[in-house]
Amino acid sequence: MRPHRAPAATRTAASAVAALTLLSGCGTAGGLKSAGDAPSAVEPKGLWPELPPASSAPYDYGEGETARIPGIRVTGGDVRRLDPVTVAQAGLKAKTDRDSGLDELPDSTVRQIEACRTAPDDCPVLPPYYRDLTGDGRDELVLGIRMPDQQLAVRVYMPDGGGLTRIMSTYDAVISVELAGRDLIMRAPSVIPGYEYRTAWSWDDRQRAMLPTRDEILRTPEHRKAPRPGRTPTGTSAPTPSAGTTASPGTSTPSDSAAGTR
């Protein structure tokens, strides 16, 4: 037997009552409220328009500099098969596509890299990390090399045409190095107490290199304004440990783990 259905007129009246009930509840607690007037948009104001634009950079930051690593073959495009010490040693002979000077290592560090096989305890090459930073579905190799004065050289290598190409090379006195999505983020201390520099390096397909796409000076996590009790500020994340050498464990997936630690 079919289920009983109310007459059409009764259904229409019931719907009208329900609609009136919903409309009358809009002004009650939990309903929509005005957030006030939206601020007016203000267009940017250009200063000193008579000044001619600069035609060249004042200094070479090292961005976009790449180098083919000689003697390295990447079987199947899998950089996990590579020995990081072998890559670091081969990189000492690499020729960059331009000379910024930022790819050079101190003589003492070069000697330590060359002696990694005979003096492994003094080898400055840190365990590698892996992450697809270019978005091509293959992992890149991320290497850290300890330098004097608590500085760290950070280099990223991409499998390319059966070989290996260095797509990022920089160094700094870092607080930490982190992998976040397809960005490599370096935190460095500032001369201003309570502040730090944070630079995000991202792959640029046109330049075929990692570029410093965001360079900021921010308050250090311990000096940021504490949130109100019971509330979590939006757009923030928990402070990461200041490892100073390798990617933060809290930002890595199992595929990003350093060799020998999985």
pLDDT at 101: 66
- Helix ranges (H only) for 45-191 are 84-91, 107-114
- Residue of 221 and 150 predicted with greater confidence: 150
- Residue of 102 and 206 predicted with greater confidence: 206
The tally of domains found in the chain comes to 1
Q: Residue 181: what are its φ and ψ, rounded to 5°? A: 65, -125
Separation between Cα atoms, residue 248 and residue 130, nearest integer Å: 13
Place 256 in a pLDDT band, splitting at 50, 70 and 90. low
Separation between Cα atoms, residue 196 and residue 221, nearest integer Å: 9
pLDDT at 32: 74
Q: Does position 257 have pLDDT exceeding 50, yes or no?
A: no
pLDDT at 33: 75
pLDDT at 9: 43
Residue 107 lies in a domain: yes
Separation between Cα atoms, residue 195 and residue 18, nearest integer Å: 57
Separation between Cα atoms, residue 106 and residue 126, nearest integer Å: 17
Q: Does position 80 have pLDDT exceeding 70, yes or no?
A: yes
Q: Does position 70 have pLDDT exceeding 80, yes or no?
A: yes
Rg (CA), the chain: 28
Residue 96 lies in a domain: yes
pLDDT at 228: 47
pLDDT at 116: 98
Q: Work out the percent of the chain whose per-residue pLDDT is above 90.
A: 58
Q: Residue 110: what are its φ and ψ, rounded to 5°? A: -60, -45
CB 116 within 8 A of CB 85: yes
Separation between Cα atoms, residue 73 and residue 160, nearest integer Å: 9
Separation between Cα atoms, residue 228 and residue 233, nearest integer Å: 9
Q: Is the dihedral of CA 122, 124, 126, 128 positive or negative?
A: negative
pLDDT at 224: 65
Place 230 in a pLDDT band, splitting at 50, 70 and 90. very low
Tell me the mean pLDDT in the region 21-50: 73
Q: Does position 146 have pLDDT exceeding 80, yes or no?
A: yes
**Ranges assigned E (strand) in 149-208:** 151-160, 163-172, 176-180, 183-189, 195-204
pLDDT at 236: 37
Chain segment 99-143, per-residue pLDDT in tens: 766 678 999 999 999 999 999 999 999 999 999 999 999 999 999
Residue 55 lies in a domain: no
CB 139 within 8 A of CB 130: yes
Separation between Cα atoms, residue 202 and residue 245, nearest integer Å: 19
Reduced to 3 states (helix: H, G, I; strand: E, B; else coil), residue 30 is coil
Contacts of 101 (CB under 8 A, 6+ apart): 60, 62
Q: Does position 245 have pLDDT exceeding 70, yes or no?
A: no
Separation between Cα atoms, residue 125 and residue 88, nearest integer Å: 7
Residue 84 lies in a domain: yes
CB 248 within 8 A of CB 240: yes
> pTM to 2 decimals?
0.69
pLDDT at 30: 62
User: What residues form DSSP beta bridges with 183?
Assistant: 180, 202
- Name the token pair of 145: 């090399």
CB 112 within 8 A of CB 172: no
Burial of 259 (0-12, 13-18, 19+ CB in 10 A): middle
Tell me the residue range of the domain where 201 lies. Answer: 67-225+241-247
Place 4 in a pLDDT band, splitting at 50, 70 and 90. very low
- Residue of 38 and 82 predicted with greater confidence: 82
pLDDT at 225: 60
Q: Does position 6 have pLDDT exceeding 50, yes or no?
A: no
Residue 191 lies in a domain: yes
The average confidence (pLDDT) of the chain is 79
